[in-house]
Amino acid sequence: MARRELSPAQLAVAQAVRSALPSDATRVHQVRVACSGGADSLALAVGLAWLDAREPDPLRRSSGLVVDHGLQGGSAQVAAGVVDGLQALGLPSVAVRVDVQVGPDGLEAAARDARYAALATVLTPTGDGVDTVLVGHTMDDQAETVLLGLARGSGTRSLAGMPATWQADGVTFVRPLLGLRRVATRQACADWGLTPWDDPMNDDDRFARVRARRLLPSIEQTLGPGVVEALARTAGLARVDADFLDEQAEGLLPKGGGGLPVPLVLASPIALRGRVVRAWLARQAITELSFERTQAVLALVDDWHGQVGVDLPGGRRVVRRDGVLWLS
C-alpha cells in the first residue's frame, strides 16, 4: 500500500477496509459496501474504491448499494446522487427502494430490517449474489449502542453492542470501522475531496440514538476524555462474556428439539436460566424476546401457579404442561 499519498485519516480507513476483505483465494468474492452518502459509509466506500484501484484483486468484485427507505421527500433523488458519486469513484453501484413496515419495535428497527434484507438479497450490477457486505458503523456508534443498553437496563448481550462480523442469509456482514472515531471518517472524506450527505433524521430528537449521540460530548466534558473508547471497550469485554454464557446455555438444551423440561431450567445456574429459555425459543425462530417476556416465561418455571401461558410475538404462546414448557 502506498502510504505516502494518503493522509492519516485516509490511511486509517483504507487499512481498516483492507483488513475486512475476504482472504479466501480459492474463489471469486462479491463484496458490497452499503452507502447512504453519510460520512461513515462514504469513507468506507471510497476506501474500498481506493484499494480496488491501488491493490486490484482478480478474485474481488466490488460494488455499492444505496438503500432508499422512502421515509423523506426527495429520498430517491438523494439515493441517485449517491449512486452517481460512487460510480465516479469507480465503484459500480445501484439504488434500491425498500418498503419499511413499522412494527412494534418502531421505525428505526423496521428501517434497519428492511435495509439489511436488501443488502443481502439484491443482485450485484453483474447479476451475481453478494457474499460479503461492508457497513459503516464507527466506534462512536458502538459507544451509543452501549449507552442505550445501559439506559434500558439491558443485560450483557445488549452491552456487547454491535458485532464486528456476523452471518445472515448466507452473507457475511462486516463493520470495518468500529475501531475508528467518527471524526476520522469525516476527515478522510474531506481529504479525498468528498462532501458527505447529512441525513436530517440524524438530528431528529424523536430517536433515542440521536439523543444519546448528543449526550456523549456532555458526558466526556463532565467525566473527562476517553468515554467513547471506554464504552467501546466495554462492548468488547461484554461480548466475550455473552458469547461464552450463550454457548453454555445452548449446551444445556435437550437434543432433538421439542419441549423444554422445567427441571432442566431449574438445575441451571441462575445466570443461565434466561439464556436457556431464549436459546430454546431461538431454535423455534423466536429471536426477539424482551426482558419482560423472558421473565414471564421464567415465571412458568420458578413461580408456577397455573398460569395460562405467555404470549410471544407472531401469535405464539409458551405454556407449561406436565412439567415441560411447550411453544404453541
Which residue type occupies 32? Answer: R
User: What percent of the chain shows pLDDT beyond 70?
Assistant: 98
Mean pLDDT along residues 205-216: 88
User: What would the pLDDT profile of 218-235 be if each residue is shown by its tens digit?
Assistant: 999 999 999 999 999 999
pLDDT of the residue at 55: 93
pLDDT of the residue at 180: 98
pLDDT of the residue at 1: 41
What's this model's pTM, rounded to 2 decimal places? 0.88
In angstroms, what CA-CA distances link 319 with 31, 260, 262, 316?
A: 45, 10, 11, 10
pLDDT of the residue at 4: 61
Cell numbers placing 221? 466534558
Please list, in sequence order, all residues whose beta carbon lies within 8 angstroms of the beta carbon of residue 88, skipping any fewer than 6 positions away.
none
Structural class in CATH, domain 3-213:
alpha beta
User: What would the pLDDT profile of 251-306 be if each residue is shown by its tens digit?
Assistant: 999 988 789 999 999 999 999 999 999 999 999 888 878 888 999 999 999 999 99
User: What percent of the chain shows pLDDT beyond 90?
Assistant: 68
So where are the chain's domains? 3-213, 253-327
User: What would the pLDDT profile of 65-105 be if each residue is shown by its tens digit?
Assistant: 999 887 778 889 999 999 999 999 999 999 989 888 877 67
- Residue pair 159/118 in contact (Cβ under 8 Å)? The answer is no
Who wins on pLDDT, 3 or 21?
21
Confidence check: pLDDT of 108 > 90: no
Mean pLDDT along residues 44-48: 97
- Residue pair 91/52 in contact (Cβ under 8 Å)? The answer is yes
SS3 68: strand
pLDDT of the residue at 10: 97
Of the candidate ranges 96-100, 135-139, 308-312, the one whose mean pLDDT is the lowest: 96-100
Which residue type occupies 145? Answer: T
Look at residues 322, 323, 320, 312 and name the one whose alpha carbon lies nearest to residue 281: 312
- Residue pair 324/260 in contact (Cβ under 8 Å)? The answer is yes
Q: Are strands 29-34 and 132-134 parallel, antiparallel or unpaired?
A: parallel
pLDDT of the residue at 153: 83
Structural class in CATH, domain 253-327:
mainly alpha
Who wins on pLDDT, 152 or 261?
261
Who wins on pLDDT, 110 or 281?
281
Distance CA 105, CA 230 (A): 28
Residues making up the chain, counted from first to last:
328
SS3 261: strand
pLDDT of the residue at 247: 95
Distance CA 199, CA 37 (A): 9
Mean pLDDT along residues 117-123: 85
- Rg (C-alpha) for the chain, rounded Å, is 22
pLDDT of the residue at 2: 47
Confidence check: pLDDT of 205 > 90: no
Q: In 10 A of CB 267, how many CB atoms?
A: 11
Cell numbers placing 238? 461484554
Mean pLDDT along residues 168-176: 91
pLDDT of the residue at 74: 85
Mean pLDDT along residues 180-202: 92
